[in-house]
Structure 1
């Protein structure tokens, strides 16, 4: 079974696979693009990973993740900026034109969401030109509001666009992730807004199942198992002008306990049934 055009597999969906296993499994299934995570790539070596991917003819749809830019102190800020420049460098080595950013949560003891978002904007002002010079675009990802306190103060596509639009589109875009945005009744208009500005840098798919089986972080559902209208999102993201791959990113202990090839085959089946 060959993967459809426009499909990408995120590394976390088959986290049980090593990077060489991921490459081999994707080639066998006809998948032409993968979304990667920094930790396994750094363990393997970015340059070695890039050679492996190029030899297999695989593209990189995104690299995750940079971000965590909300700390107020000068030392923490300097460290965060340095870490994000390193992430940009890794993306460039891999040939990934998109670096996904998770903004970071509230600093300990803080209740100032607006101030935290402003610190994200300050960091984007410094990182955006550097990333663009490396051929990489920063992609601000809004996460579900349940993450706002500890992981991501950017909760809606509107908030992400409000940040991104302060900067040139070639420097900063946004991520559209169905798992995080399905609940928001303003998302249709914001997708149109993102399309007009050429701001959609990455599109990710997962379903929302109730009750969350393993907490909000690891509770993502297989495509079609939950309440997200995945086809609706796919149609509107494409209508907004996004031509990049739709990346299936599912964090699930249940999937990780299964054979990777079996999971990928099921993902492709569900993608055809519930997305296309």
Structure 2
């Protein structure tokens, strides 16, 4: 894509989770064919394809890897070694952003405050390794409905309370529209975040939510989130980086990958850019 179209997509990134069943080489080829400059990757499909092969694939295609998801889950056994591997993988893939999903409450625990302290302690342990690798640990708050089992960091403010203990180049935050749009403090927190915004992800919120609420996302423009307002807010805070479309939806995943990519681009141009 050339000219005005290429300029309009200069910040667009397609997160491979949006087309869950599209093989990585086909995702990469589709992005190149569509003039898409960036791709967000996930550790599991990268590992299945082979880390070195994946790094070469995206590098040879001229794509920017805008993020790698995910590290975190600090209540899991072996969390430290797993996160050190994730940092190394991010560096190998050439991305400076490793998304962290903190994990929920430890088994049998009701101590959410203690769990959040544990997240901060874990990040403090990982931060020197991330700094040495040139990788930013990007704390992603998840909607409160995921607090018990997936992420005790539920608001952007909570993520910033942890991130602000560290250098902005080492620990930042993710602004994911799906998880923060409902928060009446989100615009003040985005302004507070400033240079700590390491990634910005968009999708939409639809109702009724499916039984598996994790899959309750939609393509930009198909739901109720003020996506452009959020994008303008992160821009005003000083963020000028990629805008990833990241959707978890069984309905979207059932569609052909190229169709999903085209719809993602269209939704981005109409409702986000």
| TM, length-normalised to structure 2 | 0.96
Provide the residue aligned with 1:274 in structure 2: 271
Provide the residue aligned with 1:62 in structure 2: 67
Q: 3-state DSSP class of the match of 2:90?
A: helix
Farther-moved stretch of structure 1 (1-10 vs 257-266) = 1-10
Provide the residue aligned with 1:253 in structure 2: 250
Cα separation, partners in 2 of 1:256 and 1:96, compared to 1, 3 Å: same
Provide the residue aligned with 2:198 in structure 1: 201
Provide the residue aligned with 2:219 in structure 1: 222
Provide the residue aligned with 2:229 in structure 1: 232
Q: In structure 2, what is the Cα distance between the partners aligned to 1:188 and 1:178?
A: 12
Q: In structure 1, what is the Cα distance between the partners aligned to 2:71 and 2:63?
A: 22
Matched, 1:19 2:24: yes
Shift of 1:46: 1.0
Q: In structure 2, what is the Cα distance between the partners aligned to 1:112 and 1:70?
A: 13
Stretches of structure 1 that go unaligned for 5 or more consecutive residues are: none
Q: In structure 2, what is the Cα distance between the partners aligned to 1:166 and 1:5?
A: 32
Q: 3-state DSSP class of the match of 1:128?
A: helix
Out of 10, 14, 20, which is 2:15 matched to?
10
| TM, length-normalised to structure 1 | 0.95
Shift of 1:215: 2.5
Q: In structure 2, what is the Cα distance between the partners aligned to 1:18 and 1:33?
A: 16
Farther-moved stretch of structure 1 (208-217 vs 97-106) = 208-217
Q: In structure 1, what is the Cα distance between the partners aligned to 2:251 and 2:169?
A: 38
Q: After the TM superposition, which segments of 4 or more aligned residues of structure 1 sit over 2 Å from their partners?
A: none
Shift of 1:214: 4.5
- Kept in 2, the 8 Å contact 1:70–1:117? The answer is no
- Kept in 2, the 8 Å contact 1:50–1:94? The answer is yes
1:1-276 counterparts in 2 under 5 A? 2=5, 4-70=9-75, 76=77, 79-195=78-194, 198-276=195-273
Shift of 1:213: 2.9
Shift of 1:17: 0.9
Shift of 1:29: 0.3
Q: 3-state DSSP class of the match of 1:184?
A: coil
Shift of 1:177: 0.2
Q: In structure 2, what is the Cα distance between the partners aligned to 1:245 and 1:84?
A: 23
Deviation digits for residues 108-156 of structure 1 (CA, Å, limit 9, x no counterpart): 2111111001111111111011011001010000000000000000000
Q: 3-state DSSP class of the match of 1:16?
A: coil
